[in-house]
């Protein structure tokens, strides 16, 4: 039973890693305009949260809803 739960957690986190990396590379700037041009360190900072909460972010990404549209991108890394 314990092993099954651990396996499920492992699969969940593995899926989280894959989806998070895809989101950080292809989705984040479109989903949240405040992240446009943000550097690698910022992306690494939010990566752990993405791995744990990836279903929420995946839902946001697929829905196409955007936030912080009043912010124009730039390089703040």
Partner 1 sequence: MGHQYQAIQWNRNKAHYDIAIALFALLYTGIFVVIGLQPSETGNTPDPVVLLIRAFGTCAFLLLTFILMIGPLARLSDRFKPMLYNRRHFGVFTFLLAAVHFGLALMWYHGFGPLNPFVSLFVSNQPGGTFPGFPFEVLGLAAFVIMLLMAVTSHDFWLNNLSAPVWKALHMLVYVAYGLLVIHIAAGALLTEKSMLYPALVLVAFLLVAGLHLMTGLQERGHDRLRRALEDKGWVSVSAPQDIPDKRAIIVPLRDGERVAVFRDGNKVSAVTNVCRHQNGPLGEGRVVDGCITCPWHGWQYRMEDGVSPPPFTEKIATYNLKLMNGMIFLDPVANAPGAKVDPVFFDLTEYDESGDAEAV
Q: Which residues bind partner 1 (CB under 8 A)?
A: 2-3, 6, 31-32, 34-39, 41-42, 44-46, 48-49, 52-53, 56-57, 60, 67-68, 70-71, 73-74, 76-77
| Residues 20-28: contacts with CB under 8 Å, at least 24 apart | 20/47, 20/50, 20/51, 20/54, 20/57, 23/50, 23/54, 23/57, 23/58, 23/61, 24/50, 27/61
CB of 76 to partner 1, least distance (A): 5
CB of 62 to partner 1, least distance (A): 14
Residue nearer to partner 1 on the CB measure, 18 or 56: 56
């Amino acid at each position: 039973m314990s092993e099954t739960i651990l396996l499920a957690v492992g699969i969940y986190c593995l899926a989280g890693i894959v989806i998070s990396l895809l989101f950080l590379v292809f989705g984040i700037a479109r989903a949240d305009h405040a992240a446009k041009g943000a550097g690698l360190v910022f992306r690494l900072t939010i990566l752990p949260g993405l791995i744990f909460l990836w279903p929420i972010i995946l839902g946001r990404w697929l829905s196409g809803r955007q936030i912080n549209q009043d912010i124009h991108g730039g390089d703040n890394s």
